[in-house]
Structure 1
Amino acid sequence: MNKLVFFVGTAGTGKSYIARVLSQHFSWAYLDMDTVGTRFVNKMLTMSGRSADDRDSKFYKEHLRDLPYEAITDLALENLEAKQNAALIAPFTKELAIPNWIDEVLKRKGFTIRDVDIKVMIIEVENTEIAKQRIEARGFSRDEWKLEHWDEFKERISAPEIAWNIPDSSILKFDNSGLLTEEKLEMLIRFIKGEES
């Protein structure tokens, strides 16, 4: 059974880092929403006379927000058809809260939730200052609003609600505040494999 592994969490938690490290241990398509969608979203924003870094306007949320999510899920489905695992890296905040979202996505290619091993890894940092330091260090212009309005932004940082019909054993909250030790890495590997801790 092929796997879809979702790495979710807010900015600065280290979703991409954890997924990249685990890519050394698993064969999967590595699908980061920022890589897949940012160029296109930025272009569409500037073509509409807006800042390329605008991720908070009504226009972005109504017309552009969902497109990169649709793109990486379509890519993941094509990999499932090719009998390949896929890792999807994005916040997925809205999608995780919709009970039948994953069922509807899988149905587009004739799959059901019984055909795919779904894992959701929620990457968190207990100390929001660590997230802020990581966001500052990566230097993305689209993060300027977050840093300039940090008190407001950090109030939004919370574990996503997961309403999908998947077992609790398929969901893992991981605090990525400190170093990724061999012990922690082994625990993440066991989770993805579906082995008992």
Structure 2
Amino acid sequence: MTRLVFFCGHAGTGKTSLAKRLFAPLVRATGEPFCLLDKDTLYGGYSAAAMGALTQDPNDRDSPLFLQHLRDPEYRGLIDTARENLELGVSVLVVGPLSREVRERKLFDRGWLGVGPQVALTVLWVHTSEETARARIVARSHPIDAYKLAHWDEYRQRRFMPSGEQLDGLLLFDNTTPTEADYDALLQRLVLAGAPA
């Protein structure tokens, strides 16, 4: 059995930090090999080169051009890389906003993911308030956030909190000011997600 765990959520919610924090404890608790696939690490350099050539702005990750032409291929590559690791017996933590995929429930579609029932699937939505997320984005001062900050009113329209049917099977984690007990409880839920019924 292998595990596929998605850490999803909007910018500034702390998805990557949370995945890295839980990585070693998850390996220890399960005794299984894992890898971490972060969308920005995998595709950041490529997207910078592509957007630099197309728009002379290598840090653009939010303009209509990027969203229409590069976003989906990045995510498809992320999913395909995760699947290759799973086929080799390596469990995967996948980090990326994946907001559209959560909204459309694609991350629960094993056919779309290309994974069978032997893969324990967990989708985690990491969230915090808009104010906290924006403050974190400002504080980290990363160039890829410049477009987002300059067009915040436009960007904030894409922010959402899953509701209704979108919540079915989705784990939620409020990453505003989590305690050690919160981290421990989340770790337990991730471990149990792969346990035999």
Separation (CA, whole Å) in 1 of partners of 2:157 and 2:57? 24
Q: Which runs of no fewer than 5 residues in structure 1 stay unpaired? A: none
Report the number of matched residues: 187
Equivalent residues in 2 for 1:95-114, closer than 5 Å: 95-99=101-105, 102-107=109-114, 111-112=115-116, 114=117
**Equivalent-residue separation in structure 1 for 2:113 and 2:135 (angstroms):** 37
Specify the alignment match of 2:24 in structure 1. 24
Deviations 1:40-70 (A, max 9, x none): 0111111224411223333322321112212
Structure-to-structure mapping, 1:25-174, within 5 angstroms: 25-27=25-27, 28-99=34-105, 102-107=109-114, 111-112=115-116, 114-125=117-128, 127-160=129-162, 168=168, 170-174=169-173
Note the alpha carbon deviations across 1:123-154, whole angstroms, 9 max, x for none: 001x3221111101211112112223334433
- The sequence identity of aligned pairs, in percent, is 32
* 1:97-131: CA deviation from partner (whole Å, max 9, x where unpaired): 34556323443xxx32x221110111001x32211
RMSD of aligned residue pairs (Cα, Å): 2.4
Q: Does the CA-based 8 Å contact 1:121-1:171 persist in structure 2?
A: yes
Which one-letter code corresponds to 1:13 in the other structure? T
Assess if the C-alpha contact under 8 Å between 2:6 and 2:123 holds in 1: yes
TM-score, normalised via structure 2 length: 0.83
Q: In the aligned structure 2, how far is the partner of 1:72 from the partner of 1:152?
A: 26
Which protein is richer in helix relative to its size?
Answer: 2
Q: Which residue of 1 aligns with 2:31?
A: none
SS in 2 for 1:157: coil
TM-score (norm 1): 0.83
Consecutive unaligned residues in structure 2, runs of 5 or more: 28-33
Q: How far 1:26 moved relative to its partner?
A: 1.9
Hey, what's the Cα distance between the residues in 2 that align with 1:48 and 1:154? 25
Q: Deviations over 1:7-33 (max 9, x none)?
A: 000000000011000012123210000
Counterpart residue type for residue 173 of structure 2 = F
Q: Tell me the SS of whatever aligns to 2:25.
A: coil
